[in-house]
Amino acid sequence: MPNFTRPTFGWHESRMQTRFILINTSHAGNVGATARAMKTMGFDDLVLVAPRWPNVLRREETIQRASGALDVLAAARIVDTLDEALDGMTHLCATAMTPRDFGPPTVSPRAHFESLSKKEHNREQSQGLEAQKVSESGVGFLFGSERFGMRNEDVYRCHACLSIPSNPAFGSLNLAAAVQVLAYEWRLALGGFAVQAAAVEADLADARQVAGMLAHLESALTAIGFLDPQAPKKLMPRLNQLFNRSAITQEEIHILRGVAKAMAQLAEGGRPPHQAPLPPSR
């Protein structure tokens, strides 16, 4: 399985480890949903500190909400204390308000991750481009319990307090929803995954093809009596603008020419094509 925490795409290949640390989590569903959210963004290192249910990784709700992220659950560790969750982590992000008295700066995820990713990039560059020379670094994201959030003494250990900008009157994201947003932002800061392009990118019509279609359409609209050639007003320029705004494709030009042809045929007394009599059977 590829190690998605170290992507080989994006603007640089970071050697940073990423770990999600859930402290005193109560709801099994949130553990499962966290595993799923992590995996969708290519992260796989999950540690639970003193969860409410010691068997939380095997509970039915956990597995159900994890959807296909069972590998993340299988590799997750359960530990008794936060200390045991922090090996290799050189930068700790609390998901909490900073305590009133003092504490790490409160920052927005996007701005902080951009700065963190650039610092790490510079560090790796200055240590040398060969993997062997670069010392390990790791980011740990800490999430407190659903009801009480993080304890101040845990926040004091962190380098930053992440605050997802939210409705001042209702700012409380669900735990796994917060994991999803942060995993998404951090993945983008690390270089991101490519957006899956559509299978087909249609060929744009050029201005000459548009003009030819419009001439065809104009004569058909005249033939059916919609357009008065003595008083055309601005109909054709208006249609020209409409098709310009829509960035019309070559295939769509063919469709509209077909429509024009059918209108003209009908006006000349012929039957529209789909009402033409069937050819005699043999």
- Which residues lie near a copy of itself (CB under 8 A)? 1-2, 4, 33, 36-37, 39-42, 65, 67-69, 97-98, 100-103, 105-108, 110, 161, 163-174, 176-177, 180-181, 184, 187-188, 192-200, 202, 251
CB of 39 to a copy of itself, least distance (A): 5
Q: How far is the CB of 230 from a copy of itself (least distance, A)?
A: 34
Q: Which is nearer to a copy of itself, 160 or 220 (CB)?
A: 160
Report the nearest approach of a copy of itself to the CB of residue 82 (Å): 21
Between 50 and 181, CB nearer to a copy of itself: 181
122 or 172: whose CB is closer to a copy of itself? 172
For residues 178-202, b (16+ Cβ closer than 10 Å) or e, as one string?
bbbbbbbbbbbbbbebeeeeeeeee
Q: What are phi and psi of 87, to 5 degrees?
A: -55, 130
Report the C-alpha gap between 23 and 86 in whole angstroms. 12
CB of 221 to a copy of itself, least distance (A): 26
CB of 15 to a copy of itself, least distance (A): 19
Q: How remote is the C-alpha of 159 from its chain's centroid?
A: 27
Helix (H) or strand (E) holding 125: helix 109-127
* H/E segment holding residue 15: none
**Which CB, 108 or 115, lies closer to a copy of itself?**
108
Question: Taking the complex as a whole, how short is the minimal distance between the CB of residue 269 and a copy of itself, in angstroms?
Answer: 35
How deeply is 90 buried, as exposed, middle or buried, from its count of CB atoms within 10 A (0-12, 13-18, 19+)?
middle
Q: What is the DSSP letter of 145?
A: B
Contact between 62 and 53 (Cβ < 8 Å)? no
The three-point CA angle 274-278-282 to 5° equals 155
Q: Which is nearer to a copy of itself, 61 or 218 (CB)?
A: 61
Total Cβ atoms within 10 A of residue 264: 18
Burial (CB count within 10 angstroms: exposed 0-12, middle 13-18, buried 19+), residue 207: exposed
Nearer to a copy of itself, 97 or 259 (CB): 97
Give the shortest CB-84-to-a copy of itself separation in angstroms: 26
- Amino acid identity of 234? K
Strands of the 160-162 sheet, one edge to the other:
77-79, 46-49, 17-23, 138-143, 91-95, 160-162, 106-107
Q: Which is nearer to a copy of itself, 181 or 235 (CB)?
A: 181
Shortest spacing between CB 217 and a copy of itself, in angstroms: 21
Considering the complex, state which of residue 134 and residue 164 has its C-beta at the smaller distance from a copy of itself. 164
